[in-house]
Amino acid sequence: MDNSFNAKAVRRLATIGRHFPTLEKKSEKEALRVCVTGAAGSIGYSLLFMIAQGRMFGPYQKVILHLLDLPTMKKALEGVKMELDDGAFPLVKDIICATCPEAGFKNIDVALLVGAKPRGPGMERKDLLRDNGNIFKEQGEALDKYAKKTVKVLAVGNPANTNALIASLNAPSIPRENFTALTRLDQNRAEAQIAHKVGVPVENVNNVIIWGNHSATQYPDVTHATITDYPAEGFVENAKSTLCDKWLKETFIPSVQKRGAAIIAARKFSSAASAANAVCDHIHDWLVGTKPGKVVSMGVISDGNSYGIRSGLMYSFPVTCHKGTWKIVDGYKIDDYSKEKMQITEKELIEEKSQAVGK
């Protein structure tokens, strides 16, 4: 055997190790404790299998799944656990079924607050705020008591923005910036619609911004969005300049705002898999980091210094993320049309906050 060849191979392997120093450590990562509330529900059920497959944290990060739901859902939780066990997912280190907040939130790293009362026939938004506000108040208190102080929290159950705010106000020992609300689903919907409209892969559409509330007042803004390889390979076009203004105002914006209702009308159930997918996108980018040049939409706490939005609201802004921290992207020019839309959704959030917490 050629010893010089063996020496070269050893040196080559050592070089690879220097270039990719995390390769040896990936298997040594401590498992993350991830709690999904409403784990036996449609979104929770879809979400758990995506997490187990590595969709949220990547292919090397092991997880301990905390499945939390109401006591009446105990048997259903056991069935979900059976299916996760039967999936034989290498990344799942353990599964804990819980029907009380102490067991569900104990020492968790990530809380996905999916469980919430759905809006029923004849129910007004203020009724939903009252009922779910109580749920998220209790969850905030439980997180404050049992979760790690570094826990990252995502409110999914509606009204998501104000629910995230309520939870944060009831968890004073956890930093306010650790609480966020899901508007990534709206961004995904918006970018998919533009991709269909111009006939490009969805990954070619980037940086659509969702401003404000996850509701019918949200403002999907394409002013700063781009379309790559359109109208031909190698081109990068501004989305607003490319798309018809009439289509944007009369079709695109209302369609994104009311997409959830359209899905319910079509399948008689609310969106579950697409919501779970957006949760994975949100947490992955938050904890791992956004790609260079990419902004994502997240409901985060406003400090009053960005785009004139009132302080203390959980408002959806364009952000970039780096290893567990988010930062609002400031400096975008806002035209009069956009400003008006942003203020409409801000007003709704002010009203929701007033109804939920009285100020």
270 annotated as belonging to a binding site for a ligand: no
- Catalytic, out of 19, 66, 196, 214: 214
87 annotated as belonging to a binding site for a ligand: no
Distance of CA 221 to the CA centre of its chain: 18
35 strand-pairing partners: 66, 111
Amino acid type, 228: T
Closest C-alpha among 343, 315, 329, 314 to residue 166 = 314
6 annotated as belonging to a binding site for a ligand: no
Query: What's the start-to-end Cα distance of the chain, in Å?
Result: 79
Burial class (CB in 10 A: 0-12, 13-18, 19+), 289: middle
39 annotated as belonging to a binding site for a ligand: yes
The verdict on whether omega for the bond into residue 231 sits within 30 degrees of 0, i.e. cis, is yes
44 annotated as belonging to a binding site for a ligand: yes
Distance of CA 62 to the CA centre of its chain: 20
Sequence-distant (≥ 6) Cβ neighbours of residue 205 within 8 angstroms: 191, 192, 194, 195, 225, 226, 227, 228, 239
267 annotated as belonging to a binding site for a ligand: no
170 annotated as belonging to a binding site for a ligand: no
214 in active site: yes
Question: CB count, 10 Å around CB of 212?
Answer: 29
3 annotated as belonging to a binding site for a ligand: no
11 annotated as belonging to a binding site for a ligand: no
189 annotated as belonging to a binding site for a ligand: yes
DSSP 8-class letter at 119 = P
The verdict on whether omega for the bond into residue 159 sits within 30 degrees of 0, i.e. cis, is yes
Sequence-distant (≥ 6) Cβ neighbours of residue 242 within 8 angstroms: 198, 227, 230
At CA 170, angle to CA 278 and CA 173, rounded to 5? Answer: 95
Mark the binding-site residues, compressed into ranges. Answer: 38-44, 69, 119, 125, 132, 156-158, 189
The binding site for NAD(+) consists of 38-44, 69, 132, 156-158
Residues noted as catalytic: 214
Q: Known binding site for substrate: residues?
A: 119, 125, 158, 189
